[in-house]
Structure 1
Amino acid sequence: MPRPQCARCQRPQRHCLCPLIPSLPSKTSVLILQHSSESRHALNTARLAVLGLLNAELRIGEQFDKDLPMDDGVESYLLFPGEDALSLEELVERPEPRRLIVPDGTWRKARKVLHLNPRLASLPRVALPEGLVSRYRLRKAPMPGALSTIEAIVVALNSLEGGIRFEALLKPFEALIDAQIEAMGSDVFQRNHLPLKG
C-alpha cells in the first residue's frame, strides 16, 4: 500500500516540507524548464523552488521553444554557463523587468534540452560565480562549483535583488536531504557519499 503523500510538496505525509516552505516575492521572475525524467525524482529541488517563490513557474518536458514567453516585454536570460555568459553583477546593470530561465536536470539532460530548443539556446546566458560549494550531500557534483537547481536560484536572486532573504528557500531543501540521509542510514551515507579522507 502506498504511503500517504502531501499533495503540495509531494513528500510522504510524515516528511511533509510545507511548514518550512517560504512564500517569497521577487522582482525577477523565474521559469524552470524541467526535463521530464527529473520530475519523478525524489530529490526534486525545482518543485521546492517554485513552491517557495511567488514569481516562479515550472514547466516539464523536453520541447519548450513554441511556448517560451519571448514577446511580453520582459528580458529573458538563461541561467546556464557559456563562453559569453554575463556575470550576475553585469545582469544587475541591465534594465528590469527580467526573467531567469533555468534548465533543470542532470548536466547531460540540460544540454539535451538546449540542443532540442534553439530559441532557448540562443538567449543571453548568465553564469554563477566560480568557487561555490553545494550543500547537496547526496549527489556528487559533476564539476567544481556545480549547484542544485534551488541553490543556483538562491545565489542568483540574492545577487540580483540584494541581501540574503532567498536563503529561506534552502530550509526545506536541507530538511529534504536530512530526511533522505536518515532513511538510508548513516552507515550507507558515510560509505557512499562522504569523501574519502586522504
Structure 2
Amino acid sequence: MARARCERCLRPENHCLCALIPQLDSQTRILILQHPSEVNHALNTARLAALGLTNAQLVVGEVFENLPELLNVPGYQPRLLFPGEGAQPLRATHRASLPTLLVVPDGTWRKARKLLHLNPLLAALPRVTLADAPVSSYRLRKAPGPDALSTLEAIVHALHMLEPHTSFEALLKPFDALIDGQIAAMGEETFRRNHL
C-alpha cells in the first residue's frame, strides 16, 4: 500500500515540508520546465522552488506546445539558465531594463539537453550562466563537477545575482531539511559509505 502523501509538497505526510516552505516575492519571474522523470524523484527540488516563490511556474513535459505563451510574458525578457556557446554570466538587472523571465530546465544534464533539442524555441533563447556558484549542499548526489547545483540551489543563486538586495536563503530551509531527513533515513554509516 502506498504511503499517504502531502498533496502540496508531494512528500510522505510524516515528512511534509510545507511548514518550512516560504512565500517569497521576486521581481524575476521563474519558469521551471521539468522533465517528467523528475516529478516523482524523492528530492524534487524544482517543486520546492515553485512552491516557495510567488512569481514562479512549474510546467512538466518534454515537448511544450504552449512555449510561445509561456515565454511571452509582458514586461519580462526571457533568458535560459543553461551553459553553452555565447552564455553570459548573470548580473543584476539594471533599473532601466525589463526584469528577467528566467527559464530553468529541470532534469539530469542529459534530460535537460533533450528538452532543448525537442523545443527549438527554448534552445534559441539568449543563455545565461551562474558566475561564482557556491558549493552544493546536495550531499546525496554524485555531481558531475564542483559547480553542479540542484535546481533549487541554482535558482536561489541566480536570484541573488539578479536581485542582490533581497535574500532568498529561506528557500533553502526545506531543501536542507529534506537532505538531513534522507541521510537520517539511510543511516550515517550508509551515507558515509556511499556519498562521502
TM-score relative to the length of structure 2: 0.93
Which runs of 5 or more residues in structure 1 are unaligned? none
Contact 2:133–2:157, Cα closer than 8 Å, also in 1: no
In structure 1, the residue matched to 2:48 is: 48
Matched, 1:135 2:137: yes
User: How far apart, in 1, do the equivalents of 2:146 and 2:83 lie?
Assistant: 13
1:179-190 matches, within 5 Å, as: 179-190=181-192
Q: How many Å apart are 1:163 and its aligned residue?
A: 3.6
User: How far apart, in 2, do the equivalents of 1:131 and 1:19 lie?
Assistant: 28
In structure 1, the residue matched to 2:171 is: 169
In structure 2, the residue matched to 1:20 is: 20
In structure 1, the residue matched to 2:150 is: 148
1:25-44 matches, within 5 Å, as: 25-44=25-44
| Aligned residue pair count | 193
User: How far apart, in 2, do the equivalents of 1:106 and 1:147 lie?
Assistant: 11
Contact 1:21–1:52, Cα closer than 8 Å, also in 2: yes
Contact 1:82–1:125, Cα closer than 8 Å, also in 2: yes
User: How far apart, in 1, do the equivalents of 2:29 and 2:114 lie?
Assistant: 24
| Equivalent AA in structure 1 for residue 43 of structure 2 | L
Q: How many Å apart are 1:130 and its aligned residue?
A: 4.0
Matched, 1:3 2:11: no
TM-score relative to the length of structure 1: 0.92
In structure 2, the residue matched to 1:122 is: 124
Contact 2:48–2:152, Cα closer than 8 Å, also in 1: yes
C-alpha offsets along residues 58-109 of structure 1, whole Å, 9 cap, x if unaligned?
A: 00010125433343332100011112111112x6247123200000000010
Q: Alignment partner of 1:101: what SS?
A: strand
| Equivalent AA in structure 1 for residue 52 of structure 2 | G
In structure 1, the residue matched to 2:61 is: 61
C-alpha offsets along residues 125-149 of structure 1, whole Å, 9 cap, x if unaligned?
A: 1100145311000011112201000
Which runs of 5 or more residues in structure 2 are unaligned? none
In structure 2, the residue matched to 1:71 is: 72
| Equivalent AA in structure 2 for residue 25 of structure 1 | D
User: How far apart, in 2, do the equivalents of 1:65 and 1:120 lie?
Assistant: 11
C-alpha offsets along residues 150-196 of structure 1, whole Å, 9 cap, x if unaligned?
A: 000000101111145111100000100111111111111000001xx
Which range moves more in the overlay, 3-12 or 109-118?
Answer: 3-12
User: How far apart, in 2, do the equivalents of 1:157 and 1:170 lie?
Assistant: 13
Contact 1:31–1:102, Cα closer than 8 Å, also in 2: yes
Aligned sequence identity (%)? 62
Q: How many Å apart are 1:18 and its aligned residue?
A: 0.6
